[in-house]
Amino acid sequence: MGVERRGQVIRGVFVRSTGAVVSGRSRVGELKSSGKPFDISKREVWEAWEKVKGNKGAAGVDGCSIEDFELDLKNNLYRVWNRMSSGSYFPPPVRAVEIPKRHGGGTRILGVPTVGDRVAQTVVARRLEWRTEQVFHPDSYGYRPWRAPGDAVEVCKQRCWKRDWVIDLDIQKFFDTVAWDLVVKAVEANTDLSWVVLYVKRWLEAPVRQADGTTLVRDRGTPQGSAVSPVLANLFLHYAFDVWMAREFPTVTFERYVDDAVVHCVSERQARTVLAAIGARMEQVGLRLHPDKTRIVYC
């Protein structure tokens, strides 16, 4: 879709069904949020919607599917934009969904936001990603554009030819236990937009609606499955792990895929030293290495 045509579509979507049109302009004004406390453009909301629609996904606690949301797209997107740009957007609870873990080993709980909330989260995630992609470590591979698990595997294979010992790391229940204050601190270091920080705080505090209808109030963690959690996870671990490793062990290479990592060492002795230091670092930031899944391997 060309730029001019895209602009026409966005303007068309954001003309509310009850809005009068004067001189070819809708009652709600131009694409930018003129007169609102927070400068969030309608174009951003539209592009976030396109991404959410492309990702598909299930309905949240309101039972509204992507198809349902699209039936009243103008008003639904206007509502998201209006509330976000005015500072009055508050996320609904996320719906807890239990799914089996890959390769067996029990289940994990995903938090499914409503479609509208996924749009709002994507607006913030895209703003953060624009900044964080400029600073993220080159050996961070998870949830990043133009990177895939296979890329990390290929680099890992090449490094295993040069260094015989690896630490296979797994952070235990990362998404359930990550500390909110440190997440917010990492966000504040990468944006000067108060509304980004505001909404990140509100999403962190959003409760979880469980399968039995009860609501779980959390004091830590970020729901796995939300649109904003991937960039928050990478941002947290950028400081908690990537930057720390580069400072403390500048000659030790690694590949990190969100909360899993492989660290390459020249000897078993070095591997044990580095592993002990990483374990202490994780405890320092409120996390723990998984005792069963973390191991030293000769490759």
Domain boundaries, the chain: 3-130, 139-298
φ, ψ for residue 94, nearest 5 deg? -90, 150
- Taking only the tens of pLDDT, the chain with its 299 residues reads 555 555 555 656 664 443 333 233 333 334 554 589 999 999 999 999 999 999 999 999 999 999 999 999 999 999 999 999 999 999 999 999 988 877 666 788 899 999 999 999 999 999 999 999 999 999 999 999 899 999 999 999 999 999 999 999 999 999 999 999 999 999 999 999 999 999 999 999 999 999 999 999 999 999 998 999 999 999 999 999 999 999 999 999 999 999 999 999 999 999 999 999 999 999 999 999 999 999 999 98
* Beta-strand relationship, 208-209 and 94-100: parallel
- How many angstroms separate the Cα of 282 from the Cα of each of 14, 170, 172, 271, 288? 46, 11, 10, 16, 6
Numbers of helices and strands, H then E, in the chain: 12, 10
Residue 256 pairs in a beta bridge with 140, 261
* Beta-strand relationship, 254-257 and 215-216: unpaired
- Contacts of 157 by beta carbon, 8 Å cutoff, 6+ apart: none
The predicted model scores a pTM of 0.88
- CATH T-level topology, domain 139-298: Alpha-Beta Plaits (3.30.70)
